Structure 1
Amino acid sequence: MAQVLGLGLSAGIVMADPPRALQVSAAHIPYYVETSGEGVLLDWFGNLTRDLPIDFHIEVFPPKRARLMWETRRVDVYMPMIDGRPEPGVLISEPLFHQNDHAFVRVGTEPVCSWEALAERHLKLGLTEGYAYPDGMQVVLGEDTGQTAEWVNGDDLNLRKLVAGRIDVFIGEYYSGLAMIREMRLEESVMVSPCPLARREVGIAMKDTQSNRLLMEELNRRIRERQSADSLEKRLRQFVMAELPSSAWAESGWGGTAHAVRHTP
C-alpha cells in the first residue's frame, strides 16, 4: 500500500514498496564524481535526496559515454548537466552551483583572463577529452586564429605537461583544478588565472514524466533551501581549501540507497 510523504506537494510523492527506481548516468569529474557515493557532488546529492522514496541507481561513466547514455535516453537522470536548456521531454533543475572555467598556467608566467587574449598570444593549449568546454573556445580554435590544441585523457596529464613546458596553458574547472594541484603538490609550479573565462550553471537533467515532475519540484525546493546554509558552492570551497592530506580528498559515501558501477573507457 502506498503511503504519502509529508513533502508539501500538491499531488504528493508516494512511498512505494519497493521504492521507485531511477537510473542515473553520472559523468566522472575528479573530486565531484569519483565512484557512486564518493565525491563532493554525489555526497551533496545524497544529502539532498536522503529521505525521498527513490532508489537512485548511479553509474559513473567517462564524460562522453555518460552524456551518450543520457542523449539516447537509456537512463532517467543525468548529472552534472552544464548549461542545460529546456527541451521537449527534459526537465532541468535549478542550478546546484556555478562552474567557473579558468586558465591554469605556470607560476611566473602571465595569467590568461579572456578568450581573445588566449587566441592572440598563440599559446600551446592543453585540453581534456570529454570536458564540456564553453562556447568561447570557438573563438580560440577558429580557423582565423591558427590556434591548435593538444588533447589528453585527464586534467592530471595536462598538469604534468604544463609543468614540463610541453603546453603553456590548460583550461579547466576551478575547484577540481585546485584540488588536483593540491593533491599533486604542484602549488609552487602551477597557478590559476584570477578571472574566469566562463561561468556556467550546473544542474540535474531528468526525463519529463508526471512522477518526475513532482520529484523535480521537490528537488528544486530543497536546492533553494540549501542556498544559504548548505549550498554546494560552500561545500566545494570547504573541500578544496581545507587543510587535508592528499589521501583525504575523497569524502566518504553518503550512505543513501545507491548501487555503484564505475565504467572505464
Structure 2
Amino acid sequence: MPQQGKLGCKRFVKQFYKLLLGGVLLCALVPILKADEPPLGIRLTNGHWPPYMEKSPPHYGVISRIVILAFAKHDTPVTYGFFPWSRARMLAQKGLWDGSVAWTCRPEMLKHFHFSDPIVAHNYVLFHRTEMDFHWDNVKDLERYRVGLTQDYNYGEEFEEAVAAGTISADVTTSDQVNFRKLAAGRIDLFPMEPAVGMSMLKELNLSDTITFHTTPLQSDYLYLILSRRVPESEGYLREFNEGLEELRESGQLEELITTSLPDLPVRYLTVEDEDSRCGGSTPGRTDRP
C-alpha cells in the first residue's frame, strides 16, 4: 500500500505540472486586454515615396504624418504597414488592411475604395539634364524625345494616349532610380516625376547638379487617403479623417507642416485650390458647405 501511495503521488505531481504548463502556454498565446489600453485604431498600408511617404520613423514622411495628425483629432491611432505599391493596394482592396496612403483618383478604383478629401496637390513635371535646352507647351512637343517611364504609374490621359499610339518614344522600367540613372547617362531625354520625390531621389543618387526639371506640369492631380469598401468601419473612419484634415487646414497647421517639411518645393505645387477636387464627387459622411 505505501508503494502504491508513492506512485499515486507521483502521478498527481506530473498531472499538476502538465496543467500548470498548459495554463502558462495559454496565457502566453491569448492577449490580455486592459481597460486603460488605447484602441487598436486604423491600419493603413503605405509605401516608400520620400519625402511624402517613407519607412523612417517617427513620422514616416509628410503625408503619413498629416494622416496621423488628422486621425489624432478623434483620438484614433494609426498603424502603418509598408509594402510594394501593388501589394499595398491589393491588401487594402481585399479588406485585409483598412486602407492605404496615398493615391491619385482613378475611376476603376471607386468600386473598391472610398476616397478622402484631397490631402495635397500632386503634379508630375519633366526632368531633364541640366545642359539640355528644353522647353515645351503641349504633348506634341515631346514627340522628338526619348521619355523614360516607370511601370504602373499614371501620367495623365493625353500623354498615355500618345504613348499608346506610338507618337512618343517611351522606355519603360520598374524603378524611378533606374530612370534617373538612364537620364544622367543620356539613354533617355526626359523622365516625368513628382518634383519633391524627384529632388529627394536625385540627392540620394548624387545627381542634383546633373538633372533639373521644367516647371510646366505634365499632369496635375491630388493625393488621397483610400479606405476599403470591404471594411464596415470605413465610412466612420473617412468622416473622422476629413474632419481632422479640415481642422488642420483651417488652423494653418497643414500649410506650415508642408512648407517646413518641403522647403525646396514651391507651395504652388502642393496647394489644394479646387473645391471640387474630391474623387468621384461627394465624399460619404461629409457635410458640404452651402
State the 1:72 CA deviation: 2.9
Match of 1:87 in 2: 110
Larger Rg, first or second structure (1 or 2): 2
Aligned CA distance change for structure 1 residues 138 and 80 (closer, same or farther; 3 Å) = same
Matched with 1:65 is 87
Change (3 A) 1:172 1:166: same
Higher normalized strand content (fraction of residues): 1
Paired position in structure 2 for 1:207: 228
Question: 1:25-174 to 2 correspondence within 5 Å?
Answer: 25-35=45-55, 37-50=59-72, 52-85=74-107, 87-88=110-111, 90-109=113-132, 110-118=134-142, 120-121=143-144, 123-145=145-167, 147-153=169-175, 155-174=176-195
Retained in 1: the 8 A contact 2:124–2:192?
Answer: yes
Matched-pair contact (CA < 8 Å) for 2:64–2:101 = no
Alpha-carbon contact 1:78-1:204 (below 8 Å) kept: yes
Match of 2:279 in 1: none
Q: Is the 8 A contact 2:113 2:227 kept in 1?
A: yes
Q: Distance in 1 between matches of 2:160 and 2:50?
A: 25
Partner of 2:243: 221
Q: What displacement does 1:16 show?
A: 9.3
Report the alpha carbon displacement of residue 182 of structure 1 after superposing the two structures with TM. 3.6
* Equivalent-residue separation in structure 1 for 2:184 and 2:39 (angstroms): 50
Distance 2:36 2:119 in 1: 27
Q: Where in structure 2 are there 5+ consecutive unaligned residues?
A: 1-34, 265-290
Deviations along 1:187-235, whole A, 9 cap, x unmatched? 331111111011112111113466432332221122122225122x654
Deviations 1:160-205 (A, max 9, x none): 2111111111111121112223444433311111110111121111
- For 2:158 and 2:95, locate their aligned partners in 1 and report how far apart those are by CA, in whole Å: 28
Gaps of 5+ in 1: 1-14, 243-265
Q: In the alignment, what sits opposite 1:178?
A: 199
When the two structures are aligned, how many residues end up with a matched partner? 225
TM-score, normalised with respect to structure 1 = 0.73
**Pairing 1:187–2:218 present:** no
Q: Indicate the structure whose relative CO is greater, using CA pairs within 8 Å and at least 6 residues apart.
A: 1
More helix by share: 2
The TM-score with structure 2 as length reference comes to: 0.67
CA distances 1:15-52 after superposition (whole Å, capped 9, x unpaired) = 99651443311132122221164212112222222353
Distance 2:183 2:118 in 1: 32
Identical columns (%): 22
CA spacing shift, 1:236–1:160, aligned 2, 3 Å: farther
